[in-house]
Chain A
Amino acid sequence: MYLLEFLIMFPLLISVILLLLKGERLRAGLVKISALAISSAAIALLISTFHRSIQYFKAESHLVDKIMFFTEWALAGYILYLGLKFKRARLTLLILLQAALMFYFEYSCGAKVISENNLFIDKFSIIMSLVVGIIGSLICVYSTGYMEDFHRDYHKEIKDRRNFFFFVIFVFLSAMFGVIFSNNLLWLYFFWEITTVCSFLLIGYKRTQESRNNAFRALELNLLGGLAFLAAIIIFYRTTGSIELSKVMLLGKAWALIPVILVCFAGLTKSAQLPFSSWLLGAMVAPTPVSALLHSSTMVKAGVYIILRFAAVLQGTMAGFALALIGGITFLAASFAAVSQSDAKKILAYSTVANLGLIVLCAGIGTYEAMWAAILLIIFHATAKCLLFLCVGTIEHKIHSRNIENMSGLIITMPKLSIMLQIGMAGMFLAPFGMLISKWAALKALVDYNPLLAIFVVFGSSVTLFFWVKWMGKLIIVAEPKDEIEHGVSKSQWFPLGALSVLTISVCGFFPLVSSVLIEPYCLEIYARTITMSQGNIVIMSIMLAMVMLFPLSFINYGKRVKVVDAYLGGANINNNVEFRGSAGTVNSMSMYNYYLEDYFNEKKLLKFGVIISIVLVIAMLGLSLL
């Protein structure tokens, strides 16, 4: 109980101090200590509660209710002000609608709404708190080093508002813990809206026209989701007289389907599923730690978290099937679009959207197997994707580009970073690493439910393979000698990168433990049955993991018993591997560019196509829930 409150309140407290604190070194120190405290608390929470079943806490406080009430209205006022100031008609309309709905709810039944237990904790929230607590903290530590470089060397034109930056990040973490631990849906909604505003502020950090536009887009789309969420709460209350997550979930399908679908709609906006994906793709204008935060441990994970909470209700419903299709289409369209991208951050963004699509696909099915697969996906995706973003952030600072064509030969210019990047990529698509375990599980869940849905995974994962491997290949190509430029990366960047690399590998090694201690008991609680990977398969996976881990050992033989020759270029090489004398004595040079297959994997067409289909599906989903 104390740990719960600590995890929500402590980051909030620190955020205020960080806002007021002057002096960069002091702030960096405080960020690191707080990060340590938060991650330790998350681990302590795991140790102290993993063996218990679901627990509820009253956490009753008029003061808290009052503060939330005023914060909510203050935020609404702030957004309204922004909407009017920047002449964003949609934003203004959305916030007015939301305010009207909120007012109606407060006025008509505000006083009567009582929640018995405001907070709760179960296995799923433990998993989420570990994801937020550990990965979020590592991002905070990384940010201290990264933001210093960012302002000192790379973006002198941007006003240094680091105190504000860290303030928002810590509020964000606090709100994420709030989302995870809230049983009172009004609380959950409150924290939900806080994450929306935080992401808005972070995306707009640079204050350029582009970042402002993208920040507003994120705000608008997420407010749309928030509106649906609020509507869902009102319907929950009107039909059941309760606003508690635990009670609402017990009611079963017939009762709860409409509001559940509305909540899922909110989840879709937050987890950037089609047709709402554009905000997450736009969010990459923000400094890289923000992308890492949004993509791995917070924001989008809040979206899938809430959908998964209601997954059991969706099982076997037509509306749930429509939701699954939205996830499937998103998975396909985003994976396909990633093929034609050369901007590293954009590839990562599409891959995030795609993987969240896979989670939504599982959630829409809602069987115990799908639940197992989806939770695994959350864990593995969070670690690997965070590592990837942070690597790209540091690399971008060093090579002044995030185009993967410019990462050619990174293995000699930045050996450690390129290896970490490769570990992250392996985590995303390669057997036997995490995401592939989850894909195995997802495929099994899909086939057991409805084999036709497997088509999404079948095509999507093949395409995934293509864009990851060609990037990986680019890193290890060495066409000509280059100097190492890795020096000067600060320790506060190295530490999180190293820790995440170790985590990416070890969550794969320890996944049977995670599964048996947390995920399987959670499935048992919800479905009274569970699935696991058979012992034999785990052994096979372990052997494969061991083999892949042994690969670096082969470098003991580096350069032994081989004779180095020039590459064949189709003529007589001129002293190196990139120039040759062709016929008639002409000197030609050679360069290598990756395949992007733009005619076949055209981003614009794919998105247009995906958006149209997904809009139809969203309407279908809402319509089917009424039946």
Chain B
Amino acid sequence: MNIFLNILLYLVLAPLTGGLLAGLDRKITARMQSRIGPPILQPFFDVLKLTQKENLVVRRSQNFYIGFFLVLVIFTGALFFTGKDILLVIFAFTLAAIFFVLAGFKASSPYSFIGAHRELLQMMAYEPVIILSAVGMYMVTRSFYVSDIVSFSRPLIYYLPGILFGLLYILAMKFRKSPFDLAASHHAHQELVKGITTEFSGKALAMIEVAHWYENMLVLGFIYLFFARLPLAGALLSLLAYFLVILIDNTFARVKWQLALLSCWLVTLIFGFGNILVLFILRK
């Protein structure tokens, strides 16, 4: 029964927290730009309003992909928060993201097309460090199960600082924030228009928003794993990571894809793989 309760809690709490964080994000961002900003609950109002809009599409099947994106993101989160195999969590997460990209392709507009390509490029950029983090966690805890990783006797940050740094580096990609907001920008007046989400409106856009809330909670959960031994500190530090991303978002311009890809892979190689190498040598 416990597991169902867990899933239920997750289903309700994750989007609530994710939405609140999104509201907080907008508030903080506004303050950084000397604006007052919307109320904290604004993201919820936005989503509610979106669900009442007319369903406009370019291709009749484009929203099906979005529906599956949402379902798969929720499924991935359920796997993670019930302590399942982290490799499967990563694969399911990738599957979800692919549905999102395919939706962008399906919409068949040049802006969503470019956005989809860039999203894909970013996936290629951030996948390595995510899989490496699972490898690192396995080396330390001898298990791929999130439940075992959480209950490991010491905080993983002691062993895996490089990997954590690598993850923090790609965080902006997962949160779709500058300098890595290549695929979908929040500001429709730029060269991308709205990138991958250009042709989505109404309920589909609402689903994308909610999926992002779930996604963001999952990513924060990933960061939390590094401090899981100290739950309170872990939660605080994950939040800190979130605010760090907001700060960077407001201080950096968008980079080109070349730099995004190269820098992600370099960071992954130097810090991520370097970390694994050191760990391996120390263990020998």
Contacts and interface: CB of A to CB of B under 8 A. Distances in A.
B94 interface: yes
A577 interface: yes
Interface in A424-448: 430-432, 436, 440, 443-444, 447
**Interface range on chain B: under 10, 10 to 19, 20 to 34, or 35 or more?**
35 or more
A472 interface: yes
B258 interface: yes
Given A470-B117, A551-B68, A577 B124 contact: no
B117 A458 contact: no
Contacts of A457: 131
Nearest to B125: A462
B61 A458 contact: no
A432 B85 CA distance: 14
A567 B88 contact: no
Given A462-B123, A462-B128, A544 B95 contact: yes
Nearest to B54: A563
B121 A466 contact: yes
B176 interface: no
Interface string B27-67: 00000000000000000000000000011111111011001
Nearest to B194: A568
Interface stretch (B15-23, B97-105, B150-158): B97-105
Contacts of A595: 117, 120-121
A488 interface: no
B101 to A, nearest CB: 6
A594 B131 CA distance: 26
B117 A540 contact: no
B116 interface: yes
A463 interface: yes
A444 B85 CA distance: 11
A476 B102 contact: yes
Interface string A443-482: 1100100111011011101110110011011101111000
A592 interface: yes
B60 A461 contact: no
A585 interface: no
Nearest to B126: A462
B10 interface: no
B215 interface: no
Interface in A562-594: 562-570, 577, 590, 592, 594
A452 B280 contact: yes
B131 A458 contact: yes
A477 B117 CA distance: 13
Considering residues B67, B104, B112, B128, which has the most beta carbons from chain A within 10 angstroms of its beta carbon? B128
Interface in B251-279: 258, 261-262, 265, 273, 276-277, 279
Contact of B106 (A454, A458, A477): A477
B109 interface: yes
B6 interface: no
Contacts of B124: 462-463, 465-466
Contacts of B59: 478
A567 B102 contact: no
B222 interface: no
B213 interface: no
A536 B146 CA distance: 13
A555 B60 CA distance: 9
B205 interface: no
Contacts of B68: 547, 551, 554
B135 A564 contact: no
Contact of B108 (A444, A470, A540, A577): A577
A430 B97 CA distance: 11
A443 B57 contact: no
Contacts of A2: none
A393 B91 CA distance: 31
B57 A540 contact: no
A209 interface: no
Interface in A132-163: none
Interface in A55-76: none
Contact of B277 (A432, A452, A565, A600): A452
Interface string B73-89: 00100010000110110
A577 B61 CA distance: 16
Contact of B94 (A465, A577, A597): A465
11 contacts: A443-B87, A443-B135, A454-B132, A536-B84, A540-B79, A548-B95, A551-B64, A561-B55, A564-B60, A595-B117, A597-B121
> Can you list the 10 inter-chain pairs with the closest CB atoms, starting with the nearest?
A473-B105, A567-B109, A462-B127, A431-B91, A554-B64, A466-B124, A559-B60, A562-B55, A431-B95, A567-B58
Given A451-B276, A565-B57, A592-B110, 11 more contacts: A470-B120, A473-B101, A473-B105, A537-B85, A540-B84, A548-B95, A551-B68, A558-B61, A564-B56, A567-B107, A590-B110
